[in-house]
Chain A
Amino acid sequence: MPRPGFYNDNEHRAYPFVFNSKQASFLPDSLVVDLNVIMGLDSEFDARLHTVWLHAVSKNGNNLLIELRSNAPGANEPLIFTRDLSVNDDWVTEYAASNPYIKDENSCAEEPAWAAYLTTGPLKDTNELIQNGETISPGTNFSVEPSQIQSLVRSYLRGVSVGNLSRPVALSACETEPAEERHVILNKTCLKGDIRFNEGYNALIRQRNASNEILITAGRGLGNQDTKELCEHNGELPFYAGEEKPILFEATTDQPAVYSKFFSGGPACDELITGINGAPGPHINFVAGTGINIVADPATHTITIELSATTLAGNC
């Protein structure tokens, strides 16, 4: 006696769905004879918690629409398979895929959140069961066999974005708190394909194939970089094109704003008074000699130096 084939078997049993005694009251077993589901990287599918099921079957003219759903958080878009009922083909396999699941603005998703291959058997029974415009919704009674679901969750590195944490910036004289918390400044997002790390200033990068490691270390003078760019920015590097240096003093009616020479703000050494008349400090005394009065007022940070008419007048 010849053995029936795999699809023949499946026309008469629940597979690829888990058997449920209520199924027969909704749809014939022959509708779906094979099914494979791929849950994508962003689907958040957890086989312990989530499943996939045949959610609805509807007829629209000559089209039979078969809808799969999942309760995985990232795979909430249904998959729709379409069959042409005017074509009497058994065992037709169709691929359907959802749109990418964009969880947030940092997502690099371009691939479907989930997808499936579905093979239908003879559609005669289903065609007779459903009226045009009707939809049969069997709830979750047609749950897909767990072994037919492949999960790609956490299975690969999809994209690399590059950025820097915003730099500590010196506050201007009147500020006591930074204007904003430090945050990541992105300069490229979602790199895919081949990526190469390049040795920049003072950087050494080594690849250890045996241990599958990339070693990035620092050392003075390492890296083959021309110092031109670094020196142009007084020892700093811009985090993005057009990065502006902070304002040291706001513009007034008399003069324009004064910008720091550094991206991290603050004055440069050559912008400060470090001595008076060659006296380097840090403490400098002003001493009044003959004919001079020096009056210091700490409250107003004022030193008044004036001629003393008394001494000049000879104590008259």
Chain B
Amino acid sequence: MTSARILFPDFRDEQEDSRYPFIDTASLTATDNVTIIPRNAFYDACLFCINGGSNPYISSIVVENQLITLNISDDENEDIAATSFAPKPIQAPETGTLSLYDNYARPAGTLVIDRERLTVFAGWAEGTYTFEPAATTFAATTTIPAKEPGVRGLLKPDNTIFTGDVLLVGDGGVVLRYTGVENNQHVIQVDVIGVPLYKRFVCLPFERFSAKTFVRTINDCPANQYGNFILTATEFEVEDTVIRILQRDNTIYFDAVGKKVV
């Protein structure tokens, strides 16, 4: 007796018994030649790893007590993306997807899964199961190349990545200025000039610049170009006055000269 054939099986039903989303020749067998990924564990995949190479594949599955991690590699990159889920009980999303992320936590793709069938991984002994590229190569239709030239992001030394719209801010004596377009390039000029008050701002934040009341004028008269203020009894070189003003050792003497009337 032959079984009835469904002419138009639903997409996921159709893929259930096929190796898809892996290529037809994928053995799905780990390098230990024992462990096999079930054909029906994955329905579909969509991979868009930034700067990814060709022939992406599942390079390893790491089984730990509380976490199962699937690592994706390709011809050019080792472990370019990964996804993980808790095995006991299975805590894969109800959306039936495992989201792949790259090393900078950027979205790198989606594995469409059957939550129930992922339990097979929970049955594997703890350890790392590696796969040859040919064993788990994804079909080309699942891969969207993402190798466009251009800046993908800015990295800090701690590997924090900035994407999208980035604001570069000068501070602490570094001034950033846009100076226009030269040779079809936008030019940002970096000047390092220091800020007179910055050190004090950092070190004495509670006394920031409550102004010192420097003496700038006396009776509206400023100092000369050397900062020196001249006190005179009258105009210079006028001798017919009794007032004398002398300076010696940071002391200014005020005298009245003349004879006493006795």
The chain A residues found within 8 Å of chain B, CB to CB, are 4, 9-10, 12-16, 18-19, 41-42, 45-48, 51, 106-109, 145-151, 153-165, 167-173, 175-176, 178, 184, 186-188, 190-191, 193-203, 205, 216, 218, 223, 225, 230, 235-237, 239, 262, 264-267, 269-281, 283-292, 294, 305, 307-308, 311-314, 316
Complexed CA–CA distance, A312 and B175 (Å): 65
Closest to A167 in B: B195
On whether the beta carbons of A196 and B185 are closer than 8 Å, the reply is yes
Instruction: Pick out which of these stretches binds chain A: B53-61, B69-77, B125-133, B166-174.
Output: B166-174
Contact residues in B for A312 (Cβ distance below 8 Å): 242, 256, 258, 260
Residues 189-226 of B, flagged 1 when their CB comes within 8 A of A and 0 if not, give 11111111110110000001111011111100011011
Instruction: Tell me how many residues of B have a C-beta within 8 Å of chain A.
Output: 107
Determine the chain A residues whose CB is within 8 A of the CB of B96 once the complex forms: 18, 146
Stretch at the interface among B31-39, B114-122, B149-157: B149-157
Residues 73-106 of B contacting A (Cβ, < 8 Å): 93, 95-97, 99, 104-106
Cα distance A264–B195 in the bound complex, in angstroms: 8
Q: Tell me, rounded to whole Å, the shortest Cβ–Cβ distance linking B222 to chain A.
A: 7
CA distance A194 to B226 in the complex (A): 51
Nearest A residue to B230, CB-CB = A277
Task: Give B92 Cβ to nearest chain A Cβ, in Å.
Answer: 10
Name B227-262 residues within 8 Å CB distance of A: 227-231, 242-245, 247, 249-258, 260-262
Report Cα–Cα, A239/B216, bound state, in Å. Answer: 28
CB distance from B97 to the nearest CB of A (A): 4
7 tightest A-B contacts by CB? A291-B256, A274-B227, A289-B255, A188-B178, A200-B191, A12-B8, A15-B11
Known: A200-B191, A237-B177. A19 touches B167 (CB 8 A): no
Q: Which residues of B contact A290 (CB under 8 A)?
A: 255-257
Binding site for A on B (CB under 8 A): 7-14, 21, 43-46, 48, 50, 93, 95-97, 99, 104-107, 110, 112, 142, 144, 146, 148, 150-154, 161-171, 174-179, 182, 184-198, 200-201, 208-211, 213-218, 222-223, 225-231, 242-245, 247, 249-258, 260-262
* Closest beta carbon of chain B to A67's beta carbon, Å: 21
